[in-house]
Amino acid sequence: MTENSSIKSDFAENSLNKAIPDQSYKKYIHDITASHLSIKILLALIILGYFVFCDLFILDHPYSLYTRLLPISIGLILLVYHFRTKENRPAKTKLYNVFLLSGTLMMYAKTLMHIDDPDYAGYVTGLIVVLFLVSLDLRVGLRNALFFYFIPPLVTALLVWTFFDPGLDQATTLANVLPMLLIGFVANRIQHNFRYSIFRSNYLLNREKHRTERLLNQTREKNQQLNQANKELSASETALKKAVEMKDKMFSVIAHDLRSPFNALLGFSSLLDETNPARSPEEKKITSLIQQTSHTLYNLTDNLLNWARSQTNEIYLHPEQIDIKELANETAEVVGMQARAKGITIHQEIESGLMAWVDRETLAVVVRNILSNAVKYSKRGGTVHISAAEESEQVVIKVSDTGTGIAREIQDKLFNLNRNPSHPGTEQETGTGLGLILCRTFVEMNKGTIAVSSEEGKGSTFTVTLPA
């Protein structure tokens, strides 16, 4: 079984596994296997030699020598191969796993040869100890581990009950191996998963380190270019800086002086609507008109300022991972006043945790404008749906309404500044047509696309596609 199959069987994080090359993990396994390999093999061979000495001269079990030949032979071959080959090749890992398997087979053979021995429990104890030690160092995939742990004891059990006639004591003693098999298997799998977790963490850290170093080098190169450009532009820098500061100050003053009164008016009209439910129809009509007019003027002012900033390259994007559901909730709350004034319900169908790599401020402007238009062109008591989902490594946001719809000949002009006519809403709300122009500009700045599908009398659906 390959290491790739082992990873897939032991880990459910398939997307992360795909990001880590299989060859890197294989090389990691080969490296840790080769680490101190000669010491481990020499110690094992010394122990095996001691067992041979005991079999021949102390216990007088010459036939036990045959059970030692396989692990001794494989250990010697592996030791010679390790000293002759400096590279940590896959053959070393495979041969080492075979050496561990031969050690357990040796102990199973010993339990068969001495099944009638009065000290049979000692041989079973030796088998359990070997299984425990092997479990700490065995590096195989899931299917090979199942074979390693369960096929030899199954064959041993068949041989015992076929060719021997074990008593109750021997059968009970041999059955004590089963718990150790299960414990060893679980411990080996836990260690396998832990080993991969360590590798994955180190791999990702190294990858981020290399990426950071590369970005640092690129930054240094850019800084050198910028320093050179600054030297060339030093003559005009002071005048340009003053002009930019004056322009920024002007936009800041306009934004503050125009937005603040509208915010107060919007808040007051909402408070008036919520604190005085027992109003006459005429008062309700006036309150609704105040809310709609204030919201329309606020949107107009905000769109004009954003448009001016976009045309003078004063909008700087700061892309980050944005929670689409959270942003939609905030935007729906802003447009909610306009929707409540017309009795329109805004429904959301967005799963938590859906993220997009975009600039938060500009995306909020896009969603707010599309939602505001959906409310604007929906009839009183209508419904607006906003949904989002990830499709082909992109986030697709859809806003649908049950409004008046858009004629086919007008749909092609919606995102064109020179050809986009503004039409009044279902309750004669006015606008400039800048909202959708601004949406297209901001969506394209975020490397996305915007499209519309509509049918007159049945509503419209605006689709925004962004990088995930």
Structural domain boundaries in the chain = 3-208, 243-467
Which strands sit side by side in the sheet containing 394-401, from one edge to the other?
Answer: 345-350, 383-391, 394-401, 459-467, 449-455
The 10s digit of each residue's pLDDT in 136-156 is 788 888 888 888 888 888 888
Q: Specify the pLDDT at position 13.
A: 42
**Of 417 and 77, the one with more pLDDT:** 77
Q: Assess whether pLDDT exceeds 90 at residue 169.
A: no
Q: Specify the pLDDT at position 284.
A: 62
Task: Assign 395 to helix, strand or coil.
Answer: strand
Distance of alpha carbon 67 from alpha carbon 170, whole angstroms: 20
Which residues pair with residue 346 across a beta bridge?
384
Q: Specify the pLDDT at position 291.
A: 63
- Binning the chain into helix, strand and coil, the percentages to the nearest 5 are 70, 10, 20
Which residues pair with residue 467 across a beta bridge?
394
Domain 243-467 classified CATH 3.30.565.10? yes
The 10s digit of each residue's pLDDT in 103-114 is 888 888 888 787
Could you give the C-alpha distances from 304 to 244, 371, 412, in angstroms and in order?
19, 18, 22
Q: Specify the pLDDT at position 3.
A: 43
The amino acid present at 141, given as its one-letter code, is G
Reported as half-sphere exposure (CB side, CA atoms, 13 A), residue 34 has a value of 18
The per-residue pLDDT of the chain, averaged, comes to 79
DSSP element (H, E) containing 99: helix 90-113
The 10s digit of each residue's pLDDT in 219-233 is 899 888 888 887 887
The 10s digit of each residue's pLDDT in 250-308 is 655 665 556 556 555 666 666 666 666 656 666 666 666 666 666 666 665 666 566 56
Q: Assess whether pLDDT exceeds 50 at residue 11.
A: no
Q: Specify the pLDDT at position 265.
A: 62
Distance of alpha carbon 175 from alpha carbon 270, whole angstroms: 78
Global pTM reads 0.42
Shortest CA distance to 189 belongs to which of 125, 143, 255, 256? 143
Distance of alpha carbon 198 from alpha carbon 224, whole angstroms: 39
Q: Specify the pLDDT at position 4.
A: 46
Mean pLDDT (whole number) for 27-47: 86
The structure tokens 């003693």 sit at 173
pLDDT-wise least confident of 50-54, 249-253, 347-351, 362-366: 249-253
Q: Assess whether pLDDT exceeds 70 at residue 380.
A: yes
Q: Residue 273's CB: how many other CB atoms inside 10 A?
A: 19
Q: Assess whether pLDDT exceeds 50 at residue 1.
A: no
Shortest CA distance to 295 belongs to which of 368, 347, 384, 387? 368
pLDDT-wise least confident of 12-21, 248-257, 374-383, 433-442: 12-21
Contact yes or no for 154/181 (Cβ under 8 A):
no
pLDDT band per the 50, 70, 90 thresholds, residue 321: very high
Q: Specify the pLDDT at position 367.
A: 92
Task: Assign 383 to helix, strand or coil.
Answer: strand
The amino acid present at 73, given as its one-letter code, is S
The 10s digit of each residue's pLDDT in 340-353 is 878 899 999 998 88
DSSP element (H, E) containing 460: strand 459-467
The 10s digit of each residue's pLDDT in 403-446 is 888 888 888 778 776 665 677 788 877 776 778 888 888 899 89
Distance of alpha carbon 204 from alpha carbon 211, whole angstroms: 10
Distance of alpha carbon 36 from alpha carbon 424, whole angstroms: 80
Q: Specify the pLDDT at position 2.
A: 42
Mean pLDDT (whole number) for 20-31: 75
Q: Specify the pLDDT at position 358.
A: 92
**Of 304 and 374, the one with more pLDDT:** 374
Contact yes or no for 324/360 (Cβ under 8 A):
no
Task: Assign 400 to helix, strand or coil.
Answer: strand
pLDDT band per the 50, 70, 90 thresholds, residue 246: low
Q: Assess whether pLDDT exceeds 90 at residue 466.
A: yes
Q: Specify the pLDDT at position 450.
A: 92
pLDDT-wise least confident of 86-90, 119-123, 396-400: 119-123
Q: Assess whether pLDDT exceeds 50 at residue 8.
A: no
Mean pLDDT (whole number) for 386-400: 92
Q: Specify the pLDDT at position 6.
A: 42
Shortest CA distance to 147 belongs to which of 98, 194, 110? 98
pLDDT band per the 50, 70, 90 thresholds, residue 71: very high
For 324-437, strand residue ranges (E) read: 345-350, 355-359, 383-391, 394-401
Mean pLDDT (whole number) for 458-463: 91
DSSP element (H, E) containing 323: strand 319-323
